[in-house]
Amino acid sequence: MVVTKLFKLALLATVVISQASYAVVLPEERADALYHSYDGGGVTIDGPSILVRKNFAETVSINANYYVDNVSSASIDVTTSGASEYTEERTEYSVGLTYLADKSLLSAGITRSDENDYQADSSYLSISQDMFGDLTTISFGYARGNDTVGQNGNDSFEETIDRQNYRFGLSQILTKNLIMGFNYENINDEGFLNNPYRNYRFLTNPLDASQGYQLSQEVYPSTRTSDAASLRLAYYLPYRAAIKAEYRYFTDDWGIEAKTYQLNYTHPIGEHWVIDLKYRTYEQTQADFYGDLFLFSSQDEKDYRARDKELSDFDNNTIGIGVSYFFPTFTKYIEKSKVSLQWDYIDFNYNNFTNLDDEGAAIGEEELYNFDANVIKFYFSIWY
């Protein structure tokens, strides 16, 4: 269920920068077919996605997306809870509309995601405006989500989550070759925010760890407010290449602080080939109520307990490479087309989450957990 939320692959993230007009325009008409795959930490996620965008009367753009995650999980959470490997499928459908009015773009859309124990519905509305001779673009956005959480094997369990998201963006052309972007995001979640399958552990006897530990369902706050700000710089190099740098800072009222640094380099080879290189590093602190091993069980509904590794103190590093080939134009109905293959290698290191599969280790002294993952995206795009 929640596994698919951790690594939702960015769809169709092309990084080719061209010398084009920066005046506000509708998104390009295009169609994309994607296959994505994630393999790491005992979890395998793969599936297809189809995205189509069509413009009408030079003022309206409509897009539709179909996305599938096929999940097979024997993660550390599954194996240490005594459960067996499980498989499930998540399907997502979304449609959106963009309207061009002078120097403004108004966009709206809805998304629906279904799993056997989780359903998510969301909608969004955004507006962007070009200013100061089209050198500056500001944007505002609002999104609302309503999720329904279930539990396999327990038909009487049903909880809800209400999500609200506010966004602000600023894009500025600094020179003919340098663009800066700033984005701020505020997210408010309310409802059942923990995983109904995950447990925390506590000592059977706080004075004697040798007597073992017990498991109990995690206890989370019912609200979470988070803020994130990012700064991006993109520089177009004289030989048609481009370099992009990004810094993102995240904080929430659960006590987590996270920092992301990313560097991308895009290099064309001849008229048809493009190479993309990426390095990304991420680090975060733990939530206030996270613990790898508690002395005793939760005393009441506000005595929060969590042993989710994604709320622990951890970091990861990503290196990636992508290769794209632009086909020669062979018909008047297709403006251009390309095929792309991208591969990311991610190394995860958890600083206070231990591997309970470490047999023979004393309780509380198990080795720290770490793993690596491979992410592959293969897609074909056409512009028409």
Counting every residue, how long is the chain? Answer: 384
11 to each of 73, 111, 377, how far by Cα in Å? Answer: 22, 14, 9
- Name 94's bridge partners: 65, 111
- CA–CA separation, 27 and 34 (whole Å): 19
Per-residue pLDDT tens over the stretch 178-227: 999 999 999 999 999 999 999 999 999 999 999 999 999 999 999 999 99
What mean pLDDT comes out for the span 33-51? Answer: 96
What's at 272, amino acid-wise?
H
pLDDT of residue 175: 95
* 139 or 21, higher pLDDT: 139
pLDDT exceeds cutoff 60 at 260: yes
Q: Which DSSP letter does residue 211 get?
A: G
Amino acid 17: pLDDT:
32
Percent pLDDT > 70 in the chain is: 93
At 9, the pLDDT band (50, 70, 90 cuts) reads very low
Q: Residue 312 burial by CB count (10 A; 0-12/13-18/19+): exposed, middle or buried?
A: buried
Strand partners, 232: 181, 246
pLDDT score of 317 more than 90: yes
User: 18 falls in which pLDDT band (50, 70, 90)?
Assistant: very low
- Note whether 381 and 31 are within 8 A (CB): yes
Residue 67 is which amino acid?
Answer: Y
Percent of the chain scoring above 90 in pLDDT:
82
Would you state the pLDDT for residue 182?
98
Answer yes or no: is pLDDT of 21 > 70.
Answer: no
What is the CB neighbour count within 10 angstroms for residue 358?
A: 13
Please give the residue that has the higher pLDDT: either 311 or 74: 311
Per residue in 83-137, pLDDT (tens digit) is 778 899 999 999 999 999 999 999 999 999 999 999 999 999 999 999 998 899 9
Q: 3-state DSSP call for residue 325?
A: strand
Break the chain into its structural domains and give their ranges: 3-383
Q: What is each CA distance from 340 to 31, 70, 157, 269, in whole angstroms?
A: 14, 22, 43, 14
Residues 6+ apart with CB under 8 A from 123: 108, 109, 110, 111, 143, 144, 145
Beta carbons of 129 and 137 less than 8 angstroms apart: yes
Question: CA-CA distance, 230 to 260, in Å (whole number)?
Answer: 9
Q: What is the pLDDT of residue 201?
A: 95
CA distance 179 to 170: 11
- The residue behind tokens 């591997």 is 355
pTM of this structure? 0.89
Give the integer Cα–Cα distance in Å for 326 and 334: 12
Half-sphere exposure of residue 218: CA atoms within 13 angstroms, side-chain side = 24
What letter does residue 287 receive in the DSSP assignment?
P
pLDDT of the residue at 118 = 95
Residue 163's Cβ-side half-sphere holds a number of Cα atoms within 13 Å equal to 19
Topology of the domain covering 3-383: Porin (2.40.160)
pLDDT at res. 131: 92
Q: What is the mean pLDDT of the chain?
A: 91
The pLDDT tens digits of the residues spanning 221-245 come to 999 999 999 999 999 998 889 999 9
pLDDT digits (tens, 9 = 90+) for 348-359: 999 999 999 888
Task: Write the DSSP assignment of 7-32 as a string of letters.
Answer: T-PPTT----------S--PPPPEEE
pLDDT, residue 20, reads 35
